[in-house]
Chains A and B, each alone.
Chain A
Amino acid sequence: MIKDVLFIYIDRWEFFVDLMWEHINISLIAITISSILGILIGIIISQFRKVSSLILGIINFTYTIPAISMLGFLIPIWGIGNSNAIIALSIYGLLPMVRNTYIGITNIDKKIIEASIGMGSTEFQSLYKIKFPLSMPVILSGFRNMVIMTISLTGIASFVGAGGLGVAIYRGITTNNSAMTIAGSIAVASLALVIDFLIGRIEKFAYKRKKINKKALILWLLIPFIGLAGFFYFSMDKESINIASKPMTEQLIISEIIGQLIEDELDVKVKITKGVGGGTSNIHPALIKGDFDLYPEYTGTSWEFVLKEEGMLEEGEEGYNRLKDLYEEKFDLSYIGLYGFNNSYGLAIRKEIAEKFDIKTYSDLSKFSENLVYGGEYDFFEREDGYKGLSDLYGLKFKDIVNIDVGLKYDAMNYKDIDVMNVFTTDGQISRGDIVILEDDKSFFPKYYAGTVVRRDILEKHPRLEEVLLLLEGIIDDETMSNLNYKVEIEKMDEKIVAMEFLKEKGLIKVK
């Protein structure tokens, strides 16, 4: 495992350096905002004690909101991406800053403050000459906590499509690559430790002799500027085409394929936000808002989850056209092309058995089901449209039914513990070749064909975009997709390379 992690660092050091830099930038902006705002609020409530318990109460309350929920709450307001993360992190960072500033200032010996006022300081002079410097050690310790917390929390900001090292962690989780997750986590932890150490040094340096060292002050003042620079660095990317993808291996690959194809065909920068947490429920609103320009989506999801239509979407051209029309009408979004594969529930059977009894369809399966063992995750047995509906429609009666964890299903099949199981039709592990996907001949499961959903104004802005996206129409079938998934999930290849090789193979980008 340690070796795997090391290899990841070596193999993808550029990837990690970019993420690290982005991580630092996001954290730094949030830290700057929390510091300035937190100190200001802290000072204000220390001057107006009457409101202090109210404000501290409110801030304490926001602190009890789990970070993930906080990020989620802000999506409707700030959309997806770095700005959302920065706002959430800044709000989080407020508490230690406000509290420590408040405590620092209110705990100063009253006599000293009285002396400063009694000698003719204005309130403001007393604040910046006496109270602020004297509370600085307490404020600094709050600052230190806040910085560590912010750097760590930035690790989960990729949940809302922000960048930073969380991308590696999240990528590792969605592609079942634990070495990647560990590599990302270690990087976050190391960053936090290094920064903590550095602040510790600055603290020592600044308080060598109690008075605030001028040099340290300058360092302090530099922080907002670095933060601002970072902010501009992020806001520059506005002109690119922004692609989103859900947190699934398949979507990571498809978004890379789309991105590389667009960059190759059109002279435009592409920014891919990979693995947006919450998937459609967060990406769709962000697309309408304009935070993203396009993303791969599934017809079934659009129909049931986005449009909330009753019943199944009709098969074929007709159904797809209805979906297209509704999307244009309701959201001003275009569905462009279907890649070909259908990622939905399917039943898989061990190849051995399929060949022996010549089982090709679910109906064929029903004739032999009495002799076979079925395995599926708990969830599938619970759903109305899961096992129960399926077995009723086809008259399936298995010898035994086993509850089994998703992650262990394929192994169980390998060890012949189970003979039949439900899978997703593009699962990478299907490509191992010892199982066969059966045909849903009575169309029990809804279809989830994948295609690209695009903002219409982007299509107008880039007249050739539609044509380019249509290049992908019908060229990725279930098998191809599960093959690509296999490469990323099992062979641990980088999805960028997988996407590039695929495009080359199809002759869609020039072989360099």
Chain B
Amino acid sequence: MNIIEFKNIYKSYNQNIVLENFSLNIEKGEFITVIGSSGSGKTTVLKLINGLITPDKGEILIDNQSIEKIDKIKLRRKIGYVIQGIGLFPHLSVKKNINYVLELGGKSLNEVDLNILIEKMGLEKKMMDRFPDELSGGQQQRVGIARAVAANPDILLMDEPFGAVDDITRKSLQKEIKIIHKNLGITIFFITHDIREALKLGSKVLIMDKGEIHQYSTPDNIRENPKTKFVKQLVGII
């Protein structure tokens, strides 16, 4: 069953055409990793999913329902969002950051759920009352993920989330996100610029260049049958 469908989407900024007749189906529960040259439209595609960007033409379906007909506020609260460059709220404590989405709807995590989440994300309880700038980059990234999944979303959008952390931290974060995916049965749309990461994490990999899909397939299939020159080059880097 498709949870997200792009049907013949067109999107341009001023004169700059980014997406032209772009179509894509994402099945429920997939871990989609997205990779491509910079400026190829990855972030644009991601923001189309939570309605931060609206297409010029074409239709987007979420759970088989046209996104135009869905209340954006409600939709976004069911879509976790890990922004490129972390984007924690600097004036809120870690705990407040994690609870942000729930508090928008007047709720908050109970202690038990919070502790489970903390545990799962490799955070510590004593960090809860600290502020983002008192944490290391890796810890901040964990908080960013905890914040995105705290409201139990159906979809998790992640825009180059591990771009700015060291190799060791990245490895453990990768492990953790895999576990989260498995445990929650969530659909993840994960942009990365690291082909190894894309192939390692994704149940399906989306390879884009200049607004076009070059290949959309399982990691194995991409390794074995790279469809275009661009894909070959990418995989060849390994």
Contacts and interface: CB of A to CB of B under 8 A. Distances in A.
A241 interface: no
A209 B76 contact: no
A123 to B, nearest CB: 10
Interface string A105-135: 0000001101111111110010001100110
B92 interface: yes
A210 B83 CA distance: 22
Nearest to A207: B91
A510 interface: no
A125 B104 contact: yes
Contacts of A210: 90-91, 131
A211 interface: yes
A211 B131 contact: yes
Contacts of A112: 87, 89-90
A130 B104 CA distance: 12
B11 to A, nearest CB: 17
B88 to A, nearest CB: 8
Interface in B35-86: 47, 50, 52, 73-77, 79, 81, 83-85
Contacts of B148: 119
Interface residues of A, number: 20
A134 B131 CA distance: 14
A119 B90 contact: no
A114 B90 contact: no
B49 to A, nearest CB: 10
B101 interface: yes
Categorize the interface residue count of chain B: 20 to 34
Interface string A56-72: 00000000000000000
Contacts of B76: 117-120
A261 to B, nearest CB: 62
Contact of B81 (A118, A122, A130, A209): A118
B87 A120 contact: no
A118 B52 contact: yes
A119 B91 contact: no
B100 interface: yes
Given A117-B52, A118-B50, A134 B101 contact: no
A125 B77 CA distance: 13
B56 to A, nearest CB: 20
The listed residue with most B CB atoms (<10 A of its CB), out of A111, A118, A120, A209, is A120
Contacts of A133: 91
Given A120-B73, A120-B77, A211-B93, A115 B101 contact: no
A133 B47 CA distance: 26
A133 B101 CA distance: 17
A344 B155 CA distance: 90
Contact of A122 (B73, B79, B90, B91): B73
Nearest to A209: B131
Given A111-B83, A111-B85, A210-B90, A119 B104 contact: yes
Contacts of A118: 47, 50, 52, 76, 81, 83
A187 to B, nearest CB: 38
Contacts of B90: 112, 134, 210
B81 A119 contact: yes
A111 B93 contact: no
B104 A114 contact: no
Contacts of A134: 89-91
B117 to A, nearest CB: 16
Interface of B: 47, 50, 52, 73-77, 79, 81, 83-85, 87, 89-93, 100-101, 104, 131, 147-148
User: Across chains A and B, which 10 residue pairs bring their CB atoms closest together, nearest first?
Assistant: A120-B76, A120-B77, A115-B87, A118-B81, A115-B83, A111-B87, A133-B91, A119-B101, A210-B91, A120-B73
Interface of A: 111-112, 114-122, 125, 129-130, 133-134, 209-212
6 contacts: A116-B100, A118-B47, A118-B52, A119-B76, A120-B77, A120-B104
Given A115-B81, A129-B100, A134-B90, 15 more contacts: A111-B85, A112-B89, A112-B90, A114-B52, A115-B89, A118-B47, A118-B76, A118-B81, A118-B83, A119-B100, A119-B104, A119-B148, A120-B75, A120-B79, A120-B104
